[in-house]
Amino acid sequence: MGFFFSRGFQKKGDWRHNFRICCEDPLAVPKLAAVLCRHFQELSLGKPLLILCIGTDRSTGDSLGPLTGTCLGKTILPGITVLGTLEAPVHAANLKATLREIQGYPEPPLIVALDACLGRLENVGTIAVSRGSLRPGAGVNKDLPPVGDLNITGTVNVGGFMEYFVLQNTRLGLVHKMAVTISTALRRGILQMQAAAGKGKEEG
């Protein structure tokens, strides 16, 4: 189980810690891509990029991560590693082993951690981006390590009561739309970052 509760952000008004947008917004993809590009430019510093999509395909609400990973996997992005797909999900049972594997990489990557969360009714369908790590499984009392230099979360349903039941009865259509929005924005943000880096080298 990968999801956690959405508890809001501490630094109000700071785009680095307080960006959120509804997946129904017609400009969700370009706005999200622009924010992600800015994060990548400030955080990457030449590091390889790893997108860690946390969740399981056995729960509709918790499938946001692997659905997004699968969408990303359909288009190969040079130099980008994606872990967590419908065929090979990263969840509570194998997260620690996955992190040990990442620690063995020859060059430490910039980790973008992606997970589903439960929150307030008015935030359902909202995608949030923030600096720092997230704690997978906190909403169901799972003792899992924090992960990520940058995190992306999607509020898939309402939290606070019978969380496992709520996750099982989350609309797949909403989760799929959020996954497509996030994966498209990630791809666009990465390409924008790479294009800007290439232009900078030419000018230098």
Per-residue three-class SS string for the chain: CCCEECCCCCCCCCCCCCEEEECCCCCHHHHHHHHHHHHHHHHCCCCCEEEEEECCCCCCHHHHHHHHHHHHHCCCCCCEEEECCCCCCECCCCHHHHHHHHHCCCCCCEEEEEEEEEECHHHCCEEEEEECCECCCHHHCCCCCCECCEEEEEEEEECCCCHHHHHHCCCHHHHHHHHHHHHHHHHHHHHHHHHHHHHHHHHC
8 contacts: CB under 8 Å, gap ≥ 6:
none
Q: Give the residue extent of every domain in the chain.
A: 4-9+21-86+107-194
pLDDT digits (tens, 9 = 90+) for 165-185: 788 889 999 999 999 999 999
Q: Are 4 and 152 in contact (CB under 8 A)?
A: no
pLDDT digits (tens, 9 = 90+) for 26-84: 999 999 999 999 999 999 878 899 999 999 999 999 999 999 999 998 776 777 999 99
As its CATH architecture, domain 4-9+21-86+107-194 has: 3-Layer(aba) Sandwich (3.40)
pLDDT digits (tens, 9 = 90+) for 131-146: 999 988 765 567 788 9
Identity (one letter) of the amino acid at 175?
A: V
What pLDDT sits at residue 7?
39
What pLDDT sits at residue 1?
42
What pLDDT sits at residue 15?
65
Characterize 82-104 residue by residue with b for buried, 16 or more Cβ atoms within 10 angstroms of its Cβ, and e for exposed: bbbbbeebbbbeebeebbeebee
Tokens of 51: 């997108």
Question: Quick one: average pLDDT of 1-26?
Answer: 65
Q: How confident is the model at residue 199 (pLDDT cuts 50, 70, 90)?
A: low
Question: Quick one: average pLDDT of 83-110?
Answer: 94
Question: Quick one: average pLDDT of 108-116?
Answer: 95
Q: Poorest-confidence range of 47-61, 70-84, 85-99, 108-122?
A: 70-84
What pLDDT sits at residue 204?
54
